[in-house]
Amino acid sequence: MKLVFACLAVLFLSSALAKLGRRKKPSVADAFDDAGITEILNITAPKNWLKVKYGPIEVKLGNDIYPGDTILRPTISFDKADPDAYYTWCLLDPNYNNYPAKSTKRYPSSIYALYVNIRNLDIKAADVLASYAGPVPGPGTGEHYYVHLYWQQKGKIDVKSRDLPDYEVDQRYPFNLTEFLSQHNYCDEPAAGNFHTASFPDDLQEVCEEGGYCQ
Ligand SMILES: *[C@@H]1O[C@H](CO)[C@@H](O)[C@H](O)[C@H]1NC(C)=O
Ligand SMILES: *[C@@H]1O[C@H](CO)[C@@H](O)[C@H](O)[C@H]1NC(C)=O
């Protein structure tokens, strides 16, 4: 018996050491690629980490966050931001209609936050095209990605322009990121990004069914 334990201990130890050797912090770009987000959004994967915090909870390249914890707008920071440039912060769900995970087909997204003309990370002074709405994964639609992108603009966006759709009212779905980027003057790739996942909470499923909200 003792011998078996000793053997097992050696086994665990060596596998733990092997993992330690292999474990490399995943790069932001790799995480975006592996999740299929790069492909679905038709973007170049961001290389830099966008720091997004919901109170004490940090978004970490695909961690699961309970929807109740993301009701209030998070704080965001990006330490490589150019102080003279304007940026856009957006939060979108490329999985709004629950396509099969990692599907390579491109689907319309829904937009949860769209803040433009941000300077020095001052979100309060940004022009808000779609004010922050907490992610709401629908019942029975599985796991969703919530993707934060921080994108450098090549100039200030004229938010008084009549051509801009009213995202506050009815344009949150479908939201076409490719189209939005091409209509305004953006750098080719996002400056930074991050994402988390969320699902409709199990503990609300019953309430949902009883209330008839689940159909
Ligand atoms: C994908 O992005 C490329 C480069 O920005 C663009 O030329 C192409 O039209 C986009 N494709 C779709 C389907 O949006
Ligand atoms: C988004 O817009 C681009 C460019 O207008 C288009 O090629 C693409 O098919 C659209 N994507 C979706 C999912 O509608």
Between the CA of 176 and the centroid of ligand 2 the distance, in Å, is 6
Kindly give the confidence (pLDDT) of every residue in the chain, 215 residues in length, as a single tens digit, with 9 standing for 90 and above.
Answer: 555 555 556 555 566 555 555 556 679 999 999 998 998 899 999 999 999 999 999 999 999 999 999 999 999 999 999 999 999 999 999 877 665 555 556 678 899 999 999 999 999 999 999 999 999 888 878 889 999 999 999 999 999 987 788 888 777 888 999 999 999 999 999 999 999 999 988 777 777 777 776 65
Ligand nearest to the CA of 110: 2
Tell me whether residue 3 is in a domain: no
- Closest-lying ligand 1 atom to the alpha carbon of residue 106: 13
Tell me whether residue 2 is in a domain: no
Total structural domains within the chain:
1
Tell me whether residue 133 is in a domain: yes
* CB < 8 Å & 24+ apart, contacts of 105-110: 105/40, 106/39, 106/40, 106/41, 106/42, 107/40, 108/173, 108/174, 108/175, 108/176, 109/41, 109/173, 109/174, 109/175, 109/176, 109/177, 110/172, 110/173, 110/174, 110/175
Q: Residue 53: which domain range?
A: 25-210
Sign of CA dihedral 125, 175, 151, 103: positive
Tell me whether residue 12 is in a domain: no
Between the CA of 38 and the centroid of ligand 1 the distance, in Å, is 12
Pocket of ligand 2 (CB under 6 A): 106-108, 176, 178-179
Question: In this predicted model, what pLDDT tens digit does every residue of 8-24 receive, in sequence order?
Answer: 565 555 665 555 555 56
160 touches 103 (CB < 8 A)? no
Between the CA of 63 and the centroid of ligand 2 the distance, in Å, is 28
Quote the distance between the C-alpha of residue 56 and its chain's center: 17
For the domain that residue 157 is a member of, what is the CATH number? 3.90.280.10
Ligand 2 probe mutation, 179, 183, 186, most atoms within 8 A of CB: 179
| pTM, to two decimals | 0.83
